[in-house]
């Protein structure tokens, strides 16, 4: 967490430059790229064949923060190593105005094509079934209610009771805006009870499984992958 700003593992090689560029922008008001960010990037890179086979046209990152994940997606889609495929229309949303500035600046600097940035909370402002892919590294740290308030940096990690308060609201929202056949990637930790999150997703038509599970620093991190039938 933030008491320990040095990540336990380095970012994956292919994303190093984007991570550096993103880290340089964040300042004190935005959550910097960290172990959870890097594991999410690794999960997306491992899934590159699966992601590209589905040919997503639209992708949303919820809580984009520094913008590193959204910007790195460009490499997932048209990195020479993967043979190239069209970059989907990329949307990035965050509550924190400082995060929005970071994300917008990084996407512009990294020349990510077809990307738009919005300020907002979750996905209530979107029509149903419009997304083919959703990525979210939500606030998952168990905290009290107070830390969840406002739009500052604490909303980047404060997840309330069991760290689940945002995740539990997010799941039905994702089920509403994800198109059939769409993919959803979610970061969480052991304290959030990933098995229970997978079961909740299942009841909403989101078939989930663990794409990654690793101890990084103080956290046992999970990347869950859901597929909407």
Binding site for other proteins (CB under 8 A): 55, 57-58, 86, 89, 91, 93, 95, 100, 104, 113-114, 116-121, 124-127, 130, 151, 179
CA-based radius of gyration for the chain: 16
* Residue closer to other proteins (CB basis): 27 or 124: 124
* Residue closer to other proteins (CB basis): 19 or 93: 93
State in angstroms the smallest separation of the CB of 141 from other proteins: 22
Closest to 33 measured CA to CA, from 44, 43, 21, 19? 19
* Residue closer to other proteins (CB basis): 104 or 175: 104
CA 10 vs CA 33, 93, 179: distances in Å = 10, 26, 34
State in angstroms the smallest separation of the CB of 219 from other proteins: 29
Cβ–Cβ under 8 Å, residues 60 and 92:
yes
State in angstroms the smallest separation of the CB of 145 from other proteins: 13
Cβ–Cβ under 8 Å, residues 65 and 103:
yes
Residues 6+ away with beta carbon under 8 Å from 3: none
* Residue closer to other proteins (CB basis): 151 or 204: 151
State in angstroms the smallest separation of the CB of 15 from other proteins: 24
DSSP for residue 138: -
Between CA 49 and CA 159, with CA 198 as vertex, the angle to 5 degrees is: 105
182 φ/ψ angles, rounded to the nearest 5 degrees: -80, 160
* Residue closer to other proteins (CB basis): 20 or 55: 55
State in angstroms the smallest separation of the CB of 57 from other proteins: 6
């Amino acid at each position: 967490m933030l008491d320990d700003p040095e990540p336990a593992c380095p970012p994956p090689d292919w994303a190093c430059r984007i991570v550096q560029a993103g880290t340089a922008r964040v300042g004190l008001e935005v959550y910097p790229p960290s172990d959870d960010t890097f594991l999410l990037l690794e999960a997306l890179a491992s899934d590159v064949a699966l992601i590209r086979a589905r040919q997503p046209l639209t992708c949303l990152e919820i809580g984009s923060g520094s913008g590193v994940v959204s910007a790195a997606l460009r490499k997932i889609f048209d990195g020479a190593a993967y043979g190239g495929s069209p970059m989907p229309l990329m949307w990035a949303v965050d509550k924190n105005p400082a995060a929005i500035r970071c994300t917008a600046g990084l996407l512009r600097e990294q020349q990510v094509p077809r990307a738009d940035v919005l300020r907002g909370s979750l996905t209530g402002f979107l029509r149903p079934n419009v997304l083919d892919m959703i990525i979210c590294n939500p606030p998952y740290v168990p905290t009290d209610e107070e830390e969840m308030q406002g739009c500052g940096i604490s909303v980047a990690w404060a997840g309330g009771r069991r760290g689940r308060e945002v995740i539990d609201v997010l799941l039905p929202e994702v089920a509403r805006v994800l198109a059939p056949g769409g993919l959803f990637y979610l970061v969480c930790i052991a304290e959030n009870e990933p098995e229970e999150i997978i079961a909740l997703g299942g009841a909403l038509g989101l078939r989930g499984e663990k794409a990654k599970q690793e101890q990084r620093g103080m956290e046992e991190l999970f990347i869950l992958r859901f597929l909407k039938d």
